Amino acid sequence: MSILVDKNTRLLVQGFTGSQATLHSEQSIEYGTNIVGGVTPGKGGQTHLSVPVFNSVHEAVEAVQPNASIIFVPAKFCKDSILEAADAGIKLIICITEGVPTLDMLIVKKRVDELGITLIGPNCPGIITPGEAKLGIMPGSIHLEGSVGIISRSGTLTYEAVKQTSDLGLGQSTCVGIGGDPIPGTSFIDVLKMMESDDQTKAIVMVGEIGGTAEEEAAEFIKNNISKPVISYIAGQTAPAGKRMGHAGAIIAGGKGTAADKIKKLEECGVHIAENLLQIGKKAKEVLD
């Protein structure tokens, strides 16, 4: 078993014919993901990467019945693309694009919540269930089918956690990049719930970073609701206050959102802390052994 995606996932790609979407769709297909079509307004009727291109998500839904969509359109069009997929009835939407205005996300998040849709991202690497399907931009080759569920606000940092757990032979059940924006579609808590009820997941790695209080809220949730061991690493222990560290959400503002606060809270709630990013895999192995 796994969460969110598997071999049966029928994926639609929005912004399909663009260069990034093309590159990553090729890689996903190679990994075994079932891409059933794509959308690029104005290019409907063409064939791209051996699957049909549609002018709208609605047309694609009627013709090829996707049950998940991945979005690569430029930031200024993401609000429209996410709401289009939602309107067309797609229940799992992954937005890879970085730079979506926060106020757009306030509206989008309210709408997808009302419709009971799972939105992953924006500004995220996507989801992968090793050996089943890859819906994202992560390098498939570093993954290994296994028992560790990984949730992360950061892309390349997730790859580190993946590589370490693969090298130690633990492998991953599902990896979800929830993205580095202040208003993510899916929170740590949403994914923790799913991983708690997934048989394949034996331990959970939660990679957080400075900014906001998502890790603190997750810590409280873990204490009360998660029976599986959780290992956490928080990036940005050396980050200065008041500066945005790349990700829109990674900023220590008004003295809040420091790594030290997060680590303290996580420890209090029984989470195993990887003091350094080099220890994520080792910690997971220790906990599982």
Counting every residue, how long is the chain?
Answer: 289
When the beta carbons of 9 and 154 are compared against another protein, the nearer one is 154
Stretch that binds another protein, among 65-73, 158-166, 190-198, 221-229 (CB under 8 A): 158-166
When the beta carbons of 52 and 136 are compared against another protein, the nearer one is 136
Tell me the C-alpha to C-alpha distance, in Å, between residue 47 and each of 20, 33, 62. 17, 18, 17
- Using CB under 8 A as the binding rule, the residues of this chain from 172 to 191 that contact another protein are 180, 182-183
- Helix, strand, or coil here: 75? helix
Q: Which residue in this structure is represented by tokens 């937005």?
A: 95
Q: Which two tokens stand for residue 30?
A: 């190679």
Can 272 be counted among the known catalytic residues?
no
Q: Which position among 159, 165, 221, 271 is part of the footprint of another protein (CB under 8 A)? A: 159
Out of 48, 143, 247, 272, the active site residue is: 247
Calpha distance 233→214 (Å, rounded): 13
Binding mask 66-105 for another protein (x = CB under 8 A): ---------xx----------------------xxxxxx-
Q: Which position among 63, 242, 268, 286 is part of the footprint of another protein (CB under 8 A)? A: 242
Q: Residue 93 CB, nearest distance to another protein (Å)? A: 17
Q: Which position among 87, 139, 145, 223 is part of the footprint of another protein (CB under 8 A)? A: 139
- Helix, strand, or coil here: 147? strand
The torsion angle over the Cα atoms of residues 232, 236, 237 and 240, rounded to 10 degrees, is -160
Stretch that binds another protein, among 7-15, 32-40, 168-176, 274-282 (CB under 8 A): 274-282
Q: How many residues bind another protein (CB under 8 A)?
A: 63
31 forms part of the interface with another protein (CB under 8 A): no
Q: Residue 233 CB, nearest distance to another protein (Å)? A: 8
**String of DSSP letters for 87-104:** HTT-SEEEE--S---HHH
244 forms part of the interface with another protein (CB under 8 A): yes
Q: Which position among 15, 121, 212, 281 is part of the footprint of another protein (CB under 8 A)? A: 212
CB 44 within 8 A of CB 55: yes
Between helix 75-87 and helix 57-64 the angle, nearest 10°, is: 40
260 forms part of the interface with another protein (CB under 8 A): no
When the beta carbons of 47 and 246 are compared against another protein, the nearer one is 246
Burial status of residue 44 (CB atoms within 10 A of its CB: 0-12, 13-18, 19 or more): middle
13: enclosing H helix or E strand: strand 10-14
Asked if the bond preceding 139 is cis, omega within 30° of 0, the reply is: no
Q: What is the largest CA-CA distance in the chain?
A: 57
Q: Which amino acid is at 58?
A: H
Q: Which position among 235, 252, 269, 284 is part of the footprint of another protein (CB under 8 A)? A: 235
- What residues are labeled active site? 247
List residues binding another protein (CB under 8 A).
Answer: 23-24, 27, 75-76, 99-104, 106-107, 109-110, 137-139, 141-142, 152-160, 163, 180, 182-183, 207, 209-210, 212-214, 217, 233, 235-240, 242-250, 254-255, 259, 275-278
